[in-house]
């Protein structure tokens, strides 16, 4: 066997950006100190560069949260996964005190193809203080279903958005899914309607001015409907012209623009009053 003579490494071979082989391994030179850099510049007329090697730091993988186990609420389950000694979720005490007792109640019907469930009626409630949601079934003597709690009061996620339900998600005409059941909200109590009208920034469907503006471009067509128009006809009128209008917004117009002094949630919309208001505001 032929013996391989060792090759000496000279200072000319130690160049930043190049490599040398030491004991069977390749060594890549990336930098040198200031003294070495000055020596190469003055003695060998060589400029030693500096290579910056970006280190790839892999972030630790995030474990997916397990589904709710049914004990407590979903936030309790998340707390058990984040700490060995979980703490109770923090609540907005100021909001709890300010909005204590304020509940928006809606009447809901099941959206189902099962005939035995189509006549069932429910109360869908959302609590302003903590955004909790609860559902109760209304007793119907003609049906075999018992009245009482259908979904316990707790924070619930909206499957349509993946976010927690908020009070603004509930309005007449909305479809919400709670406990794997889809409910169409067909009515609201007077307290809920008035509360929503008192805070139009949080509940745009109860802002009569913003809703009226949607019809400003079709005033001439609206006048042909007569002095009054039912909410159902107004809803169809808007759909025919691709105007985004829902059932609660029609109710808002009926309460704000009416022929009678009394507020009538189910009454018609006064076209005369609505057009006059649009004219006064230059629409």
Provide mean pLDDT across the span 27-32. 88
pLDDT tens sequence across 74-110: 777 777 777 778 777 777 788 888 888 899 999 999 9
pLDDT at position 84 is: 76
Provide mean pLDDT across the span 199-228. 92
Per the CB < 8 A criterion, the answer to whether 167 and 95 are in contact is no
Q: Is the dihedral of CA 78, 81, 83, 88 positive or negative?
A: positive
173 pLDDT band (50/70/90 cuts)? very high
Mean of per-residue pLDDT scores for the chain = 88
What is this structure's pTM?
A: 0.71
* pLDDT beyond 70 at 283: no
The two three-digit tokens of residue 203, written as one number: 């509940």
The percent of residues in the chain predicted with pLDDT above 70, rounded, is 96
Tell me the C-alpha distance between 160 and 183, whole Å: 13
Tell me the C-alpha distance between 133 and 104, whole Å: 10
pLDDT at position 2 is: 65
Provide mean pLDDT across the span 59-84. 76
């Amino acid at each position: 066997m032929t013996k391989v003579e060792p090759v000496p490494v000279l200072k000319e071979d130690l160049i930043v950006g190049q490599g040398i082989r030491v004991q069977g391994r390749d060594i890549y030179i990336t930098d040198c100190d200031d003294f070495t850099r000055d020596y190469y510049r003055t003695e060998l007329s060589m400029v030693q560069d500096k290579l910056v090697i970006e280190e790839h730091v892999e972030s630790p993988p995030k474990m997916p949260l397990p589904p709710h186990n049914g004990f407590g609420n979903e936030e309790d389950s998340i707390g058990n996964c984040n700490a060995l000694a979980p703490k109770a979720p923090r609540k907005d005490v100021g909001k709890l005190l300010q909005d204590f007792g304020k509940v928006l109640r809606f009447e809901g019907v099941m959206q189902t193809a099962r005939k035995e469930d189509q006549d069932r009626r429910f109360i869908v409630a959302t609590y302003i203080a903590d955004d909790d949601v609860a559902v109760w079934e209304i007793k119907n003597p003609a049906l075999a279903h018992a009245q009482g709690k259908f979904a316990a009061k707790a924070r619930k996620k909206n499957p349509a958005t993946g976010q927690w339900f908020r009070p603004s998600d509930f309005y007449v005409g909305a479809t919400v899914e709670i406990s794997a059941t889809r409910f169409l909200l067909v009515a609201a109590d007077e307290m809920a309607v008035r509360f929503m009208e008192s805070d139009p920034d949080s509940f745009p469907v109860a802002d009569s001015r913003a809703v009226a503006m949607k019809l400003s471009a079709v005033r001439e067509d609206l006048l042909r409907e007569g002095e009054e128009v039912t909410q159902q006809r107004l809803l169809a009128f808007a759909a025919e012209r691709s105007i985004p209008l829902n059932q609660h917004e029609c109710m808002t117009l009926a309460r704000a623009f009416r022929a009678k002094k009394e507020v009538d949630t189910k009454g018609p919309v006064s076209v005369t009053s609505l057009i006059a208001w649009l004219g006064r505001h230059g629409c």
